[in-house]
Structure 1
């Protein structure tokens, strides 16, 4: 017989790339995870996980336990939520993934306030700049900044806020190297690339009067961390193409200068992706999404109009 705790334990293993990752998710030591998994397999009389080196994969029996376990825990969650709704409460576990910088600046404060307002909700906020690599079963709500190339079937997208991409550089860099007059001039400038998601980050696209101009940059500086890239630009190391939410304050303060304002760049809207699991449709998810949408309307990075 498997209890809810057993199912939660095994699902943490099923959704992790390795036992070490599962131990971190469960906040226990790897030997403790291995011992409990072995005891679970002995109790059931079946082999649930194949371990090859540092990686793991589920056996057919393991896939069955994971599939049925999600359904059982989902039903229990639905029951808890239905009873809580009759008491006027919001309860349950809410798993959110968001980009690193945007998540720190805008999602984390809303998550903290939401949990304080709903003490029976447990929030797990994971920040990653490779959200596309996070399996859909691992989250109830994902926040994405930028175009969505391929959404998994069953996901529901809700646009939360507009967000432009802007080309900019520091006054010190421009004083030393001059302003580009057209996209082609960028080939003579030091360009800095942010390597995130799976985008072709060295192909910069500009549009004017219905015509697209593509420039292949050769960055001497690149990073997967937006804060590092922004810091290089502020230090006068080169030009960056960044989200409006990240550089709007620097532009207003004069620390950065917007370049080629007559050209449009592909926008990067802020979008919420609801998972296909039933828990993603729960009241806690919907209410958190409403709270986040409210916090982003109007977008905090754009000056309010009188």
Structure 2
């Protein structure tokens, strides 16, 4: 006989790349995870996990247990939710994924407020700029900024807010050189690249009057952290191409200056991605999505229309 706690334990292992990662997710020591897994395998009389090198690989029996166990836990969660709904409550475990910077600034406050309003909901917010590397079955809702590439098929997308991408630099940087008049002028500037979402970050694209212009920059500085890139730009180290949500306050305050205003970079809208599984249609997921949409409408980084 297998208990629901055993199923939750095994799913944590199945969704982790290693036993060390599983131990962190379960908040127990690696030896404790190994011991409990061994005891579960002995009780079931079957081998569930192979460990080639440092990685985990489920056996055929492990795949069956993970698939059936996930379905059982989903069904139990739906039962709890249905009974709670009759009492006017929202319950359950909500797993949200969001980009690092945007998640800290705009998703985390919504998550805290939502949990305070619905104490029976437990929220797990994971911040990652590599949505494609996050398995679809490990989240109920993901927030993504920009073009959707590498996400699992079958995800349901909902647009949350507009978000332009803007070329800009600090006044101190521009004091020593003329501002670019056309995209090709960027080749003579110190450009700063942000590595994210597996994009070709050194190819900057623009459009004007229906014509596209592409510029291959040679970054003097590059980072995978948006805060670092923005900090370099504020310090006068070069030109950046950043999301409107990240630089709007700096532009309004004059800490950064918009460049090439007549050339539009590709939009990077904020979208929510719902998993295809039934959990994504749960009341807690729908209500959290509505709360997030309300917080982003109108987009807090845009000036109200006159």
Output the TM-score relative to the length of structure 2.
Answer: 0.99
CA distance in 2, matches of 1:165, 1:112: 28
1:96 aligns with 2:96: yes
Distance 1:117 1:4 in 2: 28
Distance in 2 of aligned mates of 1:52 and 1:218: 40
Find the aligned partners of 1:304 and 1:117 in 2 and give their Cα distance.
28
- Distance in 1 separating the partners of 2:151 and 2:204: 23
SS in 1 for 2:51: strand
C-alpha displacement of 1:111: 0.1
State the SS of the aligned residue for 1:204: strand
Secondary structure of the 1:25 match is helix
What is the aligned partner in structure 1 of residue 224 from structure 2?
224
Give the equivalent residue in structure 2 for 1:256.
256
Q: RMSD across aligned C-alpha pairs, in angstroms? A: 0.7
SS at match of 1:126: strand
Q: For 1:124, what is the secondary structure of its paired residue?
A: strand
Q: Which deviates further from its counterpart, 149-158 or 117-126?
A: 149-158
Alignment partner, residue 36 of structure 1: 36
Structure 2 counterparts to residues 1-306 of structure 1, below 5 A? 1-306=1-306
Per-residue deviation, 1:277: 1.5
Displacement of 1:149? 2.7
CA distance in 1, matches of 2:187, 2:153: 40
- Name the SS of the counterpart of 2:11 in structure 1: helix
Residues 197-251 of structure 1: per-residue CA shift (max 9 Å, x gap) = 1100000001011110100000010000000000000000000000000000000
Counterparts of 2:177 and 2:61 in 1: how far apart (Å)?
Answer: 64
For residues 236-271 of structure 1, what are the alpha-carbon distances to aligned partners after superposition, in whole Å with 9 as ceiling and x for unaligned?
000000000000000000000000000011000000
Distance 1:212 1:155 in 2: 30
- 3-state SS in 2 of match to 1:222: strand
Structure 2: tracts of 5 or more residues without a match: none
The DSSP-based 3-state class of the residue aligned with 1:301 is coil
User: How far does residue 150 in structure 1 lie from its aligned partner after superposition?
Assistant: 4.3
Q: Distance in 2 between matches of 1:200 and 1:96?
A: 26
Q: Give 3-state SS (helix, strand or coil) of 1:5's partner.
A: helix
- Is the CA contact (8 Å cut-off) linking 2:131 and 2:151 kept in structure 1? no
- For residues 277 and 12 of structure 1, the distance between their equivalents in structure 2, rounded to whole angstroms, comes to 17
Moved over 3 A (4+): none
Q: Following the alignment from structure 2 to structure 1, what is the Cα–Cα distance between the partners of residues 152 and 128?
A: 18
CA shift, 1:54, in A, is 0.9
Contact 2:132 2:152 in 1 (8 A): no
Q: For 1:71 and 1:6, how far apart are their aligned partners in 2?
A: 14
User: Does the residue aligned with 1:167 lie in a helix, a strand or coil?
Assistant: strand
